[in-house]
Amino acid sequence: MVPSTFKWVSLGMVACALNALAVVPAKAQGTVRRHLVYFRDKAGTPFSVAQPQAFLSARSLARRSRQGIAVLPRDLPVNPAYVAQIRAVSGAPQVLYTSRWFNAAVVSCDSLTLGRIMALPKVSRASTLNRSARVPGPFTAPTQLPEPSAQNPAATRAQYGPAYRQNQQIGALAMHDAGFRGDGMQIAVFDAGFPGADQISALQPLFLEQRLASTRNFVDGGTSVYGRSDHGTNCLSTMAANQPGFFVGTAPKATFHLCITEDVYSEHPIEEANWLAAAEYADSVGVDVISSSLGYTDFDAPSVSYTYADMTGRNAISSRAATMAARVGMLVVSAAGNEGNHAWHYISAPADADSIMTVGAVDSLGNHAFFSSYGPTADGRIKPTLSAMGLATAVISPNGGAFRGNGTSFACPVLAGMAAGFWQANPTLTAQQVIVALRSTATQAANPDNTLGYGIPNFVTAYNALHPNAPLDTVSPAAAGALGLYPNPAGSGPLMLVVPAVLRGQALRVRVLDVRGAVVAQRQLPATTGEEVPLRLGPLAKGTYVCEVSAGNTLRTVKFVQQ
């Protein structure tokens, strides 16, 4: 789900639950690899389901409590004594992190050392996760950001910039107008890197408003995430960007956790184990929504690739992890995959997982994107679950510029952000009820298929189905007769007029007036039947202006700022 030149990727109490360490594998006699080592039981553990606060945050426990989900033995951390036994084995094995849900540990060691570990009485089995060892590079501390220039906090439809249509298509504009912008919701983004995310002006509110809750790098260890692939930055921007007049994402007021789990330089099951570790971390800190634009089908030799028959949600490590994440009350949103026009054709892991929201891609008109992977799962379940704009989706690059990209990678976070806002608006729902509410009111709810799933969801439609006695207004300002203009504040590029219905189908006269009432620009525009039309005014001095648009005896005005 990144460009075709890459393979597509589309707490200390938490420390005891997830030991994510920045370590360098020790020198050994043989080739050092990473292995998933499973334990036989959790007998003798010092942890108890009666005292979950020892390994789960208060926010994590509150999320479970709201949904009636009990803390179970599966949530208990690996017995620390078992981890100590591995570390005591000769050959200097390194325990990189542990998994509560799988009762396992990711261990870096050579084959001789692995043989000694397998001889331990509490070890049941192991699988090799990669075929090469890498030494982590140096880490860079997050950069302190400068104060941004003042911005108008009231984001209107004319202020979304190129992200307008992808928001509009799923009702996110109305969601924001109703006051649901992700406030108080926590979203974890699993990806391959977030370069520039600490510098991009549209993402500065994350830092200035202290809504960047944490960062974790499960590939290299530690917390440095502002490097590697820009794919994560692109995906994050579709949700988190909040620069009215330039770009506004679907969840511009949510709190985020950024997790690197994907290594774009190779493809091995270790990345699925990283996904598992990140999901357990997200659970432990109280994340509400996981957005994952990653997928697994083929691995680099000699790792064994999956077949379509494996896509049951019960085989792949990442799929099993996603199912567990759903069972503890997180809303897992996963990209379907970009194999629709390739030999594989079908969805990938973890998109095949049960009880998650798998997202396919459509264009701005709601048509299936040619690359978007198809269902069903190998065991016959409908996939994708829902679809959102993934063809010519507006995203932001590490240099802060906006461009359009293709991939279910982008449809996934676009919809994840809306789902977070929908859950904010309906806080008594469980994660599974959120999926049902969006699915049952989507465009293909009556006739779901394995191309678009249940279709394209809409915040207003789903919200009104739950609140029939207090529905939201579904009439847009343009439909109600208001004139719009964006980006606002305006820069050096062209503007877009949002033309109300009363002015369509007629030649338009445009005048721009400064604060003194003097006309500084005039244009004649041909008749249009569309809601939007480009407006090129030429250079304007910095200041505030009024744009008048008239046809016959009808006049509409809108104020804008030129920067």
pLDDT of residue 298: 95
Work out the end-to-end distance of the chain between its first and last CA atoms, rounded to an integer number of angstroms: 36
Q: Convert the pLDDT of each residue in 73-128 to its tens digit.
A: 999 999 999 999 999 999 999 999 999 999 999 999 999 999 999 999 999 999 99
pLDDT digits (tens, 9 = 90+) for 460-483: 999 999 999 888 865 555 566 778
- 494 shares its domain with 345: no
- The percent of the chain in helix, strand and coil, each rounded to the nearest 5, is 25, 20, 50
204 domain residue, yes or no: yes
Q: Which of 214, 220, 229, 231 is catalytic?
A: 231
DSSP-derived letter for residue 314 is: T
Neighbours of 506 (CB within 10 A): 16
Is 409 among the residues known to form the active site? yes
Q: How many CB atoms lie within 10 A of CB 22?
A: 13
Q: At what angle do helices 270-285 and 317-327 cross, to 10 degrees?
A: 10
Does the pLDDT value for residue 10 go beyond 90?
Answer: no
> Quick check: is 65 in a domain?
no
Q: How many domains is the chain partitioned into structurally?
A: 2
Residue 30 lies in a domain: no
| 55 and 77 Cβ atoms separated by less than 8 Å | yes
Last residue of a domain, one of 440, 466, 492: 466
In this structure, are 254 and 391 located in the same domain? yes
What pLDDT does residue 157 have? Answer: 57
- Per the document, the length of the chain is 563
Residue that wins the pLDDT comparison between 245 and 199: 199
Do 182 and 270 sit in the same domain of this protein? Answer: yes
Of the listed 191, 263, 283, 310, which one is catalytic?
191
As a whole number of angstroms, the distance between CA 384 and CA 368 comes to 12
The pLDDT value recorded for residue 177 is: 86
Same domain, 330 and 297: yes
Structural tokens at position 26: 């020790």
Same-domain pairing of 462 and 527: no
- Residues 452 and 444: their CA atoms lie apart, in Å, by 8
Residue that has been written with the tokens 């996603």 in this structure: 322
Same domain for 352 and 233: yes
- Answer yes or no: do 523 and 426 share one domain: no
Q: pTM for this structure?
A: 0.80
**Residue 150, pLDDT score:** 31
Measured CA distances, 490 to 203, 394, 540 (Å): 19, 18, 10
Q: Is 172 within the bounds of a domain?
A: yes
- Report the alpha-carbon distance of residue 276 to residue 218 in Å, rounded: 10
Q: Is 231 noted as a catalytic residue in this protein?
A: yes
Return mean pLDDT, the chain: 89
What is the residue range of 263's domain? Answer: 157-466
**Same-domain pairing of 462 and 540:** no
| pLDDT > 80? residue 143 | no
The predicted structure's pLDDT at residue 102 = 98
Where would I find the beta strands (DSSP E) of 66-185?
94-99, 104-109, 123-128
Nearest of 281, 296, 286 to residue 255 by alpha carbon: 286
Nearest to 377 by CA among 355, 356, 348, 357: 348
pLDDT at 482: 78
Burial class (CB within 10 angstroms; exposed 0-12, middle 13-18, buried 19+) of 153: exposed
**Domain edge (last residue) among 414, 431, 466:** 466
Catalytic residue selected from 57, 237, 409, 476: 409
Query: What residues pair up with 486 in beta bridges, in sequence order?
Result: 496
Alpha helices in 119-195 (DSSP H): 164-169, 172-177
| C-alpha torsion angle, residues 401, 406, 409, 413 (rounded to 10) | 60
Give the least confident one: 13-17, 117-121, 518-522, 554-558.
13-17
276 with 306, same domain: the answer is yes
CA nearest neighbour of 372 among 391, 385, 350: 391
pLDDT of residue 147: 26
Flag whether 56 is in a domain.
no
- Domain identity same for 385 and 252: yes
Q: 546 and 446 share a domain?
A: no
Residue 54 lies in a domain: no
Instruction: Give the residue from 466, 500, 534 where a domain finishes.
Output: 466
Query: What is the pLDDT at residue 139?
Result: 29
Tell me the CATH number at 496. 2.60.40.3080
**Residue 503 three-state SS:** helix
> From residue 290, how far is each of 28, 45, 191, 356, 466 by CA, in Å?
37, 29, 11, 10, 24
Nearest CA-CA partner of 259 in 235, 392, 245: 235
Instruction: Confirm whether 37 is domain-assigned.
Output: no
Which tens digit of pLDDT belongs to each residue from 444-465?
999 999 999 999 999 999 999 9
Distance CA 514, CA 530 (A): 28
For position 359, which CATH number holds? 3.40.50.200
Fill in the amino acid letter for 445.
A
Question: What's the CA gap between 231 and 222, in Å, rounded?
Answer: 20
Q: Is 18 exposed, middle or buried (0-12, 13-18, 19+ CB in 10 A)?
A: buried
436 lies in the same domain as 494? no
Counting beta carbons within 10 angstroms of the beta carbon of residue 517, is it exposed (0 to 12), middle (13 to 18) or buried (19 or more)? exposed
Please say if the pLDDT value at position 19 is more than 90: no
With 0-12 CB in 10 A as exposed, 13-18 as middle and 19+ as buried, what is 146?
A: exposed
Least confident of 68-82, 241-255, 362-376, 536-550: 536-550
Q: Is residue 289 part of a domain?
A: yes
Q: Does 183 participate in catalysis according to the annotation? A: no
pLDDT score of 489: 73
Residue 9's pLDDT band (cuts 50, 70, 90):
very low
pLDDT in tens, 499-553: 888 899 999 999 999 988 889 999 999 998 888 888 989 889 998 888 999 998 8
